[in-house]
Structure 1
Amino acid sequence: MKILIKNGTVIIDGCRRIENGAVLVDDQKIVGVYKDYQNIDCDRAIDVQNHYIMPGFIETHTHGDLGFDFNNCQMSDIYKISDALLDEGVTCFMASLTCENHEYMLNLLDEYEKCNVHNLLGVHLEGPFLSQEMPGVMKIESLMLPQIDIFDEYLQHCSKIKSMTIAPELDHALELIQHGHNKGIVMNIGHSNASASQVMEAQSYGAKGITHLYNAMSQHLHRNPGVVTGAFLSDLYCELIVDKFHIHEDVIQATYRAIGKNRIVLICDANPCKGLKDGIYEFSGKEIEIIDGKARVKETGRIAGSTLRLNQACRHMREICGCSMEDVVQMVTVNPAQMYGLNKGKIEVGYDGDIVVVNDQFDVLAVVNDGEIQKMSL
């Protein structure tokens, strides 16, 4: 079906826009981008009433939704997560898995190998090769030193593995980063007590990004520069949780000024309780309490992921930094698509037919996903 999304400001990518433009989607692909869209042949036209037409949002780091945890939910529940994410403009996502014991993880990866949810980009392994000094909410008993044979065993069980978070200061981590990079896996630095120089060395071995910058890592200290300093010095992509809770607004603004829109990747790092009311829940083997949408481990008070929606992260970024709509699109679609080598993230002929329509507050008004209308409130 040919769908024409018209009469809106088309944000093509992080630099370009077309005022009063239109986009034509057919057979799951973008087949036309127009300034003059009169007499365009289509089966369905969506008049977006002068709102914004953008590429579908890409969520590369989330642990679940609506009480469904990627570590233990049924594969059929991932359809429910996928549908819920459409409400926030997310047209594709990664399933981030927290650390488990080896046998459990292999069985879990076997399940993901059989998963055929079309919006699922793949699996992100957040560990187990992480620093015991920076575990966050990870199960410390499941952390281990990097081992290439274990990593290869993961890949043998699941071809859908697309990324891994690893602490580069650990013994044999650099060899594993290089090994993973050469196999096409995006290797990200996180849950790490590395120095800035170790971050730079990891980049030279093939590391591509920083997992949730500032959280669960060594900081930017003037006599002891850590992962955060390394992020500033490097060319790595940097995930950012912009929920006004994980990171102070001044630091978000400083980060935007320091590293710019071309390296920030907006994420939610949502815990599985996102979308549920305040209360007591379980995540990564710990009892967490959500109060006013803020999640903490009940016993320690440690932050336990977010309940953030990705369209909210976009709105917050614009409010805090005063950046343009194009800048936000760069951070929520272009950068993650480039990072993971996806045919997505821009409104260009030949790109996947994932389109989201939003107002200036990033409220989602319509979603065209994989060439089909999935959400409509215009």
Structure 2
Amino acid sequence: MLTGNILTSAGWRHGRIDIDAGRIAAIDAVPVDPAGNDAPYIVPGFIDLHVHGGGGADTMEGAAAAVTMARLHACHGTTSLLATTMTAPRPALRKVLVELGECAQTRPAGAARILGVHLEGPYISPSKLGAQPPEAVVAVLDEVLDYLSVAPIRVVTLAPEISGHPRIVGELAARGVRVQVGHTLGTYDEGVNALKHGATGFTHLYNAMSGLHHREPGMVGAALAHAQYAELIPDLLHVHPGAIRVALRAIPQLYCVTDSTAAAGMPDGEYRLGSQGVVKCLGAVRLKDGTLAGSTLTMDKALRNLVSLGLPLADVSNYVSRHAADYLGLSDRGRIEVGAWADLVVLDRALALQATYVEGEEIVVEYA
């Protein structure tokens, strides 16, 4: 049983949530303006669809690392996530996908639920790698289907301008995989064409894609003009606050991701991001050449960053919870409703994390 100001699907309520067998059994509460009391906030657990690591562990290291990552992020309010891969040679990528597929079958105690995999690469532009290793390849359907056979791949990032990729988009969409446009030098028209073929989102909007110009709107223009969904990294390093506001006005169900690395939750120093070394310093993670390489962001910090821009907490909750759930078609996560999973975050009045509940289990918050 939890009590406080509860952000339900019908708005703010003050009262009690009863939990049974990992799900919300009852909500006994009345409408409230939370500004009128000092009770804590209870909001839906955060959902991160793009996370490479945390707690010193990198997804590409396999199942044990994924569990470490899932535990670190649960301590920051993330209740479910997609383990996100890096571009790598086929044998290494397939091996880690097999391990992540096994890891997604159960949820270890104290960890966020791993909903599946976000395959970020290798089907990206070799001219827009960002922090990805130079192992990009053209997608071949048999290879993609083999990957799908060994892991629950929920999201795939690819560059749509590469010959043959529009067909791959359609094949994946027909199988229920969410295809995102990213790491791309594609034009506005190529972005629109990808959406027509079944693409449904954009990977870390603005970053590692052709930018907006009034005569060449680029992939950013395609997203702002046509996207229903897109992910964005709100660490206030990857995207300027003004550009965040533009995206929030243009894209109805924008959702936030961390794109976090093994350096999340760790002191400054050297870490791994896939096959590459990265350095954490002053809150940023970079390759040795200075390129931003993922982040140290956690979802509780993402929430506070967005609120610091003047956005209402109820709206921000959608950006870090519900929209991501809707994107994956999950009607029982990312919301506080009777029958939904008891994935909950308790925040004090300063929005500091007090508790995380993953499927009803209270997580011991060691890092917050």
**TM-score above 0.5:** yes
Aligned to 2:110: none
Aligned to 1:45: none
Aligned to 2:23: 29
SS in 2 for 1:305: strand
Q: Which residue identity lines up with residue 246 of structure 1 in the other structure? A: H
1:367 touches 1:373 (CA, 8 Å); kept in 2? Answer: yes
**Aligned match of 1:127 in 111, 121, 124?**
121
Q: Quick one: distance in 2 between partners of 1:154 and 1:65?
A: 24
Q: Which residue identity lines up with residue 72 of structure 1 in the other structure? A: E
**Aligned match of 1:11 in 3, 7, 10?**
7
Q: Does 1:280 align with 2:270?
A: yes
**TM-fit CA distance, 1:269:** 0.2
Q: Does 1:340 align with 2:344?
A: no
2:155 touches 2:178 (CA, 8 Å); kept in 1? Answer: yes
Closer, same or farther: CA 373–5 of 1 in aligned 2, 3 Å: same
SS in 2 for 1:80: helix
Q: Quick one: distance in 2 between partners of 1:150 and 1:197?
A: 27
Indicate the larger mover: 289-298 or 328-337. 289-298
1:295 touches 1:307 (CA, 8 Å); kept in 2? Answer: yes
Aligned to 2:93: 105
Q: Which residue identity lines up with residue 318 of structure 2 in the other structure? A: Q
**TM-fit CA distance, 1:198:** 1.5
The Cα offsets for residues 208-237 of structure 1, whole Å up to 9 and x where unpaired, read as 111100110000111111111011111331
**Aligned match of 2:54 in 57, 62, 65?**
65
Between the two proteins, what is the percent identity of the paired residues?
A: 30
Q: Does 1:366 align with 2:355?
A: yes
Number of residue pairs aligned between Structure 1 and Structure 2: 354
Q: Which residue identity lines up with residue 365 of structure 1 in the other structure? A: Q
1:130 touches 1:190 (CA, 8 Å); kept in 2? Answer: yes
Closer, same or farther: CA 156–89 of 1 in aligned 2, 3 Å: same
Q: Quick one: distance in 2 between partners of 1:35 and 1:376?
A: 27
**TM-fit CA distance, 1:197:** 1.8
**TM-fit CA distance, 1:64:** 0.6
**TM-fit CA distance, 1:248:** 1.4
Residues 282-301 of structure 1 correspond to what in structure 2 (within 5 A)? 282-298=272-288, 300-301=289-290
Aligned to 2:76: 88
Aligned to 1:331: 319
Q: Quick one: distance in 2 between partners of 1:49 and 1:169?
A: 53
Aligned to 2:34: none
2:59 touches 2:65 (CA, 8 Å); kept in 1? Answer: no
**Aligned match of 1:357 in 309, 327, 346?**
346
Residues 70-219 of structure 1 correspond to what in structure 2 (within 5 A)? 70-73=59-62, 75-115=63-103, 116-118=105-107, 119-140=113-134, 142-158=135-151, 160-219=152-211
2:160 touches 2:181 (CA, 8 Å); kept in 1? Answer: yes
Q: Quick one: distance in 1 between partners of 2:74 and 2:91?
A: 33
Q: Quick one: distance in 1 between partners of 2:350 and 2:208?
A: 30
**Aligned match of 1:312 in 288, 301, 307?**
301
Q: Quick one: distance in 2 between partners of 1:109 and 1:282?
A: 18
2:45 touches 2:79 (CA, 8 Å); kept in 1? Answer: yes
SS in 2 for 1:336: helix
* Unpaired segments ≥5 residues, structure 1: 38-47
Q: Quick one: distance in 1 between partners of 2:220 and 2:114?
A: 30
Q: Quick one: distance in 1 between partners of 2:177 and 2:261?
A: 24
**TM-fit CA distance, 1:256:** 2.1
Q: Quick one: distance in 2 between partners of 1:319 and 1:190?
A: 28
Aligned to 1:234: 226
**Aligned match of 2:217 in 210, 222, 225?**
225
Indicate the larger mover: 165-174 or 103-112. 103-112
Divergent runs of 4+, >3 A: none
Q: Which residue identity lines up with residue 145 of structure 1 in the other structure? A: V
* Unpaired segments ≥5 residues, structure 2: 32-36, 108-112
The Cα offsets for residues 13-42 of structure 1, whole Å up to 9 and x where unpaired, read as 4x6221x222111111111122269xxxxx
SS in 1 for 2:50: coil
Q: Quick one: distance in 1 between partners of 2:139 and 2:363?
A: 42
SS in 2 for 1:271: coil
Q: Quick one: distance in 1 between partners of 2:200 and 2:314?
A: 23
**TM-fit CA distance, 1:157:** 2.2
